Structure 1
């Protein structure tokens, strides 16, 4: 046996060879969770390359290889006993890079192919450098060699490839552009592996077990503590009792590690990564041959700063009310990324360099920076770099608060100015960006700006975000919107464009089944609200496009006054960022789906004409030809750009799995709406959520005397516009689910509730699983949402074949036709289909199968 450290490039490139995954190995199973972590590591290494740093490569893990029985002297073949997930993922990442650059850099695309992916002069299965297990081979081969076919698409391989295609588009973000060839270099020469090569007859499985039996690792804080006290030969006991023990008692180990990292950042190291904390601090002490006195001074300073750090973690410990208010708002925003700047402000205040008033003013700039970027949909991927650089880049010749204002206003920080903020409040789908608590906080701060004489206690009031014009509008809403449509726009298009904008959103705590009903029936409820913004909405006579835009203008005025602007215009082409978002979501379109110009425009907060003009004039946009008219037709103005010459559009669409109806239109069931597009680029946090982001993984509580239970509220809302037969069919479905061993969790929404068919433990993200979420219709009929997006990250349904089988069983119901292209989304069907006895029986059988799959996950 030989074991050596190597790089991916050194392992796979060179002469023709092949790495074979044995047939007995499990199929490729990395989910987006593992892919996101790897991508973060890759970007970190790309950044180190950009700075010219050669140390601190990232250890990816081990690869255990053994000679294949098919080995030949002129064509080595290796069995991959361990490490196939890593090798497959890196190969797919390089395939995505190759395809990303193919049009612009065909020579480099060919180079990547020949160096890492294929054996150029070999045919058949020998053509591939990596040969996955048999179940994965069609998918892997299709993504390495192409073209994609219906038999090859889908599955974890396709998910990983699509993930990297989307992330490569995202990496071109103007706020922090990444060089694609640097990303390639990071993958091939900065991710280290330990390659264990066995001889014939070696027990490779014993090797595998020993490599993976590593025990509990010491944290960075543990390592640094041990190092420090080994250096304190004479003062160790005194320092431990005086400073370290109180420090250790006031912070958890993870918090202590974070404080140690922050201390390095505050001392001017704006590039140190948290995982390199121990090595970086050790190098500092070794360079200066630190004495016991210097090490004691370091620990004493750590002890002093711990009291400041606790105020970030527990804002109630901050004595000044104005500073405390800002810390609470940033804590509610979950703005841990800002800790370097916040620690600097508290540290400078303690040193007397600014007072509490200026500290609060500086924190208002930080809040504004975050809020304005969120409203204007600036990606968050460079926030770590921005705030970690604050201590080292803060101007020295101006007061601290003014210096921070100046620093964050720099052109490459992308702090939106008043013009952009106003435009995005009026047009952008606010409800589809940021976290749910961030959206709620923006509305809360806007409500507070009215300075009502009897302000709402937001901590006690259980408020949720409400769409005034509902997400599922009834016929009366659509008739009203039809009076305001522009040329070529339908009422549905206008609704899609306006429904998620800030002008149509408010906060409410009312228990109402009327959320989706006409505006006149909402006015009384809004008039009785304690929130000033709701009272103002109630005074209008109608609620259409004109009123939504007028309210957006009013909220924009308040937002501009509430959140300070940067010192000067940021000097950037704001539109280019929106188009990057369009490119990113189009790259993520699943096989067998299409979208419309109106849907893409609503997702972007743009206009359909502007979307069409951009796609027509921009070469190299992945899947641009899959954007059709709302009727599912190729636009008369569609033309391939010279660089994208692609033949007959309909033939390309058919090859991509898009079906066509007898009248020549793309199948409407395969169309992705603006909401579907938002799901494509959203990240699943593992929590069961209702429409307004509330946690629903708790078992449904009973109501007290005179108090309506969530279950009662759900059925009352369901009965408001569904037939008695549908309501009874849903009751029977929930009873059957409980007989199967499941339980019902109801949404905590104060306006519209929901019912989750749950298995597993209650409480906490990721601890339970649910196949369906049921929603009352509120004027359009109740729906059952099939949560494929969540299932894809939960065992055993990370296996795509199981999700495909669940889809097949659901599609056996008469009236249900969910295309396979929506297998990564959250499609729905009408609850009214359950009125038929046969449909109820088929759904019960599908759910019983689902439960059996979940229960057998441990023994599979």
Structure 2
């Protein structure tokens, strides 16, 4: 075996060659956690390139290669024994960059293709530089080859590609733009790999087993400890017993490693990454002759700061009540990203540079910085850099607390002021950003601000977030909202805009009892609440748009008092950030989906007309043509910008997997609502720091379910292609309806059909016969939507069937309709092509066993007619 250090560009560039992932390898499996960390490393390297610093490259890991049995002298082929996850991810990142610049820089896009992704003069599977394992091959090829096909829907490969498309749009934020070609350079020439090449006679399977053999690896803390005590030949035993052993006993190995990293940051190294801790500290000690006394001083300082670090981990050990309160809230927020700033404050207090009152004041700025940014939907992607830079950037000519206030108020820190906070509380869908525990903490602090004489014990209370105006409004709610609509907006559109705003949210322990009841019923329950905010809601005569906005203004006043504002005179963050969020979510639209102007407006807290104007006048917005009217039509006012590559909009939509009914409307089952759009970026933001967002699995994020519902937890844990569809279904429908749909899907699959769900955020499912994604050899009689606030619905695709053999025969369509109308509670009327949407009925109809038997019989009849087409 031969091993050498290399770069991605050096590995894959040059002559035509191919890297093949063997069948015994697992499928591609990187998630947001690994992708987020890699993206952070890429941006770090891109910044180093921009600054011209001669810093070390980032070591990404190893790649183990062996000659393929198909190897040819003129076309080398390599088996990827280890490292396929890295190679696949980097290839997808470059594919996303190619597509990101394709319209504006077609020559550069072609260069990326030729240099890294394809063998230009090879055909078939030989065309691809990287050939993933069999299960991933078709989907990976679909993205590299383009344009996308149905094979590209869903899966880890699609999710990774979508991640990079969204991050590239985010990186192009006008407020802090990053050069896309510098990002490409960072990927290809700043990420170091160790390429281990096996000889032809080596046992590849033995190598694979050895590489993947489980075992405990030495951590960064282990390596650094060993290094330090090798440098203490005479003082080692005393230092170990006096400082190191107590420190090691008080912290876990991971916590000790984090403390060592924080020590480097506090000492002024604002660029060191935790994974580079050992190398960075070793480099500092080897810059000159380091005595045992200096090593001992380092460990002694580490020991002293270990006691301070424990206060971040266990706030109850902090003696001062005000500081303890802030530490508790930041711990609840899971704000580990702020540790450099918090450690600096505790360290300076211990040194006597500030007292506990000023320490608490400085921590209030940190807390406000996080809370206001979350409430105003500022992305979290740069928080690590902001707080890691605090020790090195803190002004030296003013008190510590004032210096931190000024530093965080800098214009490029995007700390929202009072005006922006007031606007966002009124308009932004608070419920769809941040993490569940963070949203809950904001509401808890707002409740505490009323200073009720008998406050609720929040630690003991089982409180969840409640929508006062429910997510699934009944007729009474819609009638009330009809009194508040303006400018031709429908009650449903108004509901979509207001339902998730802070003014419509509260905390309650009787979530299931409140449910979707009319406001009068909710008033009675809220009146008996121990929470002051609920009593104030109950004292309101009605609960419409004006009341929600009035409460939003009241809560904003309290938020402004609780969380201090940035210093004046540094300017307010531009609204372009909202448009950048819209650009991100459009870039992340999964294949086979579309959205409406109203949905996109509700997602960013704007208006449909403003969204239309922005898209019409902003060149280069990815997937802008996939924003349609609410009935699935291309807007009469849609125009390509002069800089965009135009063409027939409907043809572009069809190529992107959007289906059309006979009347020319996009399939409603493929529409992503505002909630669906939020999940495309919301979950990613939740996991930006490498942790899975438990809030996405808690009841408050899923239609106010209860923690004790084992059926709901079963749905959340289920690892099937329909998982997201069922999560939304459970959020918006009764348990009986969800069980009925699951039973229907099972029977359909028994009949030889399949279930096709839409994208990463499933907002629709279709019953399909034939080879999915290969029209005309597939057909779908039924599409289902989970509700997204309005209850689940079954749509019968009659207008599509009208042009599909053998159902172009009107008598067959009529017979199918008759069979469906035998279901109790169903009365469907076929519409002629172009005359309104397809007929539908509520999914709750399927709760009755008899109705499920009848619909299965109708579907069997449908299957038999379709399979027998052309035999008459």
Asked if the contact 1:811/1:818 (under 8 Å) is kept, the reply is: no
Q: Who is 2:700 aligned against?
A: 692
Per-residue deviation at 1:290? Answer: 1.7
SS of residue in 1 equivalent to 2:613: helix
After superposition, the Cα gap between the structure-2 partners of 1:349 and 1:137, relative to the gap in structure 1 and judged at 3 Å, is: closer
Q: Counterparts of 1:632 and 1:552 in 2: how far apart (Å)?
A: 33
Show the counterpart of 1:579.
579
SS in 1 for 2:116: helix
Other-structure match for 1:565: 565
Q: 1:785 to 1:322 in 2, by over 3 A?
A: farther
Q: Is the 8 A contact 1:341 1:388 kept in 2?
A: yes
Q: Does 1:91 align with 2:50?
A: no
1:422-461 equivalent positions in 2, closer than 5 A = 422-461=422-461
Structure 1 pair 389–37 and aligned structure 2 pair: CA distance change class (3 A): closer
CA shift, 1:336, in A, is: 0.9
Instruction: Please give the alpha-carbon distance, in whole angstroms, between the structure 2 residues aligned to 1:220 and 1:439.
Output: 35
Aligned residue runs from structure 1 range 317-336, under 5 A: 317-336=317-336
Unaligned runs of 5+ in 1: 697-713, 715-745, 788-799, 844-860
- State whether residues 18 and 130 of structure 2, in contact with CA within 8 Å, keep that contact through their aligned partners in structure 1: yes
Name 1:603's counterpart in structure 2.
Answer: 603
- The structural deviation recorded for 1:632 is 0.9
1:362 aligns with 2:369: no
Q: Residue 389 of structure 1: CA displacement?
A: 1.0
**C-alpha distance in 2, partners of 1:488/1:264?**
59
User: How many angstroms does 1:506 deviate by?
Assistant: 0.8
Question: 2:859 — aligned with what?
Answer: none
Does structure 2 retain, via aligned residues, the 8 Å contact 1:834–1:840? no
In the alignment, what sits opposite 1:47?
47
Match of 1:758, SS state, is: helix
Aligned to 1:241: 241
| SS of residue in 2 equivalent to 1:193 | strand
- Alpha-carbon separation, structure 2, partners of 1:67 and 1:519: 70
Superposed displacement of residue 171, structure 1: 2.1
Structure 1 residues 59 and 50: alpha-carbon distance in aligned structure 2, compared to 1, 3 A threshold: same
- Report whether the alignment pairs 1:259 with 2:272: no
Could you tell me which residue of structure 1 aligns to residue 593 of structure 2? 593
Give unmatched runs, 5+ long, in structure 2: 743-754, 770-778, 795-841, 857-872
Q: Deviations over 1:307-328 (max 9, x none)?
A: 1111111111111111111111
Equivalent-residue separation in structure 2 for 1:636 and 1:122 (angstroms) = 44
TM-score by length of 1: 0.83
Change (3 A) 1:329 1:755: same
Contact 1:480/1:544 (8 A) holds in 2: yes
Deviation at 1:497, TM superposition (A): 0.2
1:779-818 correspondence runs (5 A): 783=738, 817-818=783-784
2:712 aligns to what SS in structure 1? strand
Structure 1 contact 49–182 (Cα < 8 Å) conserved: yes
Q: Which moved more, 1:600-609 or 1:62-71?
A: 62-71
Question: What's the counterpart of residue 747 of structure 1?
Answer: 706
Q: Residues 359 and 401 of structure 1 are in contact (CA less than 8 Å); yes or no, is this contact kept in structure 2? A: yes
State the secondary structure of the residue aligned to 1:396.
Answer: coil
Aligned match of 1:758:
714
Note if contact 2:417-2:572 (Cα within 8 Å) is conserved in structure 1. Answer: no
CA distance in 2, matches of 1:312, 1:151: 48
- TM-score normalised by length of structure 2: 0.82
Q: Deviations over 1:164-194 (max 9, x none)?
A: 1112112224565432112211211122223
Do residues 409 (structure 1) and 406 (structure 2) align?
no
In 1, Cα distance between equivalents of 2:185 and 2:162: 20
Question: Relative to structure 1, is the Cα distance of residues 361 and 486 closer, same or farther in structure 2, using a 3 angstrom cutoff?
Answer: same
- Determine if contact 1:757/1:772 at 8 Å carries over to the other structure: no
Q: Does 1:61 align with 2:61?
A: yes
- Counterpart Cα distance in 1 of 2:324 and 2:503: 30
Q: Which residue in the other structure is 1:663 paired with?
A: 663
When structure 1 is superposed on structure 2, of 478-487 and 1-10 the one drifting more is: 1-10
Q: CA deviation at 1:572?
A: 4.9
User: Matches of 1:207 and 1:512 in 2, distance apart?
Assistant: 56
SS at match of 1:692: helix
Relative to structure 1, is the Cα distance of residues 244 and 78 closer, same or farther in structure 2, using a 3 angstrom cutoff?
A: closer
Equivalent residue, structure 2, for 1:297: 297
In 1, Cα distance between equivalents of 2:354 and 2:781: 67
Q: Identify if the C-alpha distance between structure 1 residues 139 and 550 changes in structure 2 by more than 3 Å, giving closer, same or farther.
A: same
- Alignment check: 8 A CA contact 1:814 1:839 kept: no
Partners of 1:353 and 1:51 lie apart in 2 by 33
Give the Cα separation in 2 of the matches to 1:389 and 1:686.
26
Q: CA contact under 8 A between 1:417 and 1:570: conserved in structure 2?
A: no
Please report how far the alpha carbon of residue 115 of structure 1 lies from its aligned counterpart in structure 2 after TM superposition: 0.9
8 A contact 1:756–1:770 mirrored in 2: no
Cα deviations across residues 630-664 of structure 1 (Å, max 9, x unaligned)?
11111111001112232111121122221222222
The correspondence of residues 121-160 of structure 1 with structure 2, limited to 5 A, is 121-160=121-160
392-401 or 202-211: bigger deviation: 202-211
Moved more, 585-594 or 276-285: 276-285
Q: Is contact 2:725-2:757 (8 Å) kept?
A: no
Inter-partner Cα distance in structure 2 for 1:604 and 1:99 = 25
- 1: CA distance between counterparts of 2:30 and 2:320? 48
In 2, the alpha carbon distance for the partners of 1:818 and 1:761 equals 22
TM-aligned CA deviation for residue 842 of structure 1: 10
Find the aligned partners of 1:538 and 1:779 in 2 and give their Cα distance.
26
1:125-184, Cα deviation, whole Å (9 max, x unpaired): 433322334554443333222222234544433332222111211222456543211221
| SS at 2:295 equivalent | helix
Is 2:179 aligned against 1:179? yes
Equivalent residues of 2:845, 2:851 under 8 A apart: no
Aligned residue for 2:218, secondary structure, equals coil
> Does the aligned pair in 2 maintain the 1:376–1:420 contact within 8 Å?
yes
Counterpart CA distance in 1 for 2:454 and 2:353 is 37
The answer on 1:280 being equivalent to 2:286 is no
Task: For 1:106 and 1:578, locate their aligned partners in 2 and report how far apart those are by CA, in whole Å.
Answer: 28
Q: CA deviation at 1:224?
A: 1.3
Residues 147-156 or 270-279, more deviating: 147-156
Measured against aligned partners, the alpha-carbon deviations of 1:739-768 in whole angstroms (never above 9, x if no partner) come to xxxxxxx8328xxx6832639999xx99xx
Displacement of 1:119 in angstroms is: 2.4
1:564-604 alpha-carbon deviations (Å, 9 max, x no partner): 11112543552211111111111111111111000010011
Report the Cα distance in structure 2 between the residues aligned to 1:441 and 1:29, rounded to whole angstroms.
33
Question: Would the alpha carbon gap of residues 689 and 157 (structure 1) be closer, same or farther in structure 2, given more than 3 Å must change?
Answer: closer
Structure 2 counterparts to residues 308-323 of structure 1, below 5 A: 308-323=308-323
CA distance in 2, matches of 1:332, 1:591: 37
Query: Quick check: 2:18–2:78 contact (8 Å CA) kept in 1?
Result: yes
The change in CA–CA distance for 1:244 and 1:61 in structure 2 (over 3 A counts) is closer
Q: Mean alpha-carbon deviation: is it higher for 539-548 or for 47-56? A: 47-56
Instruction: Tell me the CA shift for residue 411 of structure 1.
Output: 0.9
Per-residue CA deviations over 1:529-560 (Å, capped at 9, x if unaligned) read: 11111111111100000000011111111111
| SS state at 1:196 partner | strand
After the TM superposition, which of the residue ranges 397-406 and 240-249 deviates more from structure 2? 240-249
Q: Deviations over 1:710-759 (max 9, x none)?
A: xxxx9xxxxxxxxxxxxxxxxxxxxxxxxxxxxxxx8328xxx6832639
Flag the 1:786–1:430 CA change in 2: closer, same or farther, 3 A: farther
Instruction: Report the more deviating stretch, 811-820 or 546-555.
Output: 811-820
1:445-844 paired onto structure 2 within 5 Å: 445-510=445-510, 512-683=512-683, 685=692, 687=694, 689-693=697-701, 747-748=706-707, 755-756=711-712, 758=714, 772=726, 775=730, 783=738, 817-818=783-784, 830-837=843-850, 839=852
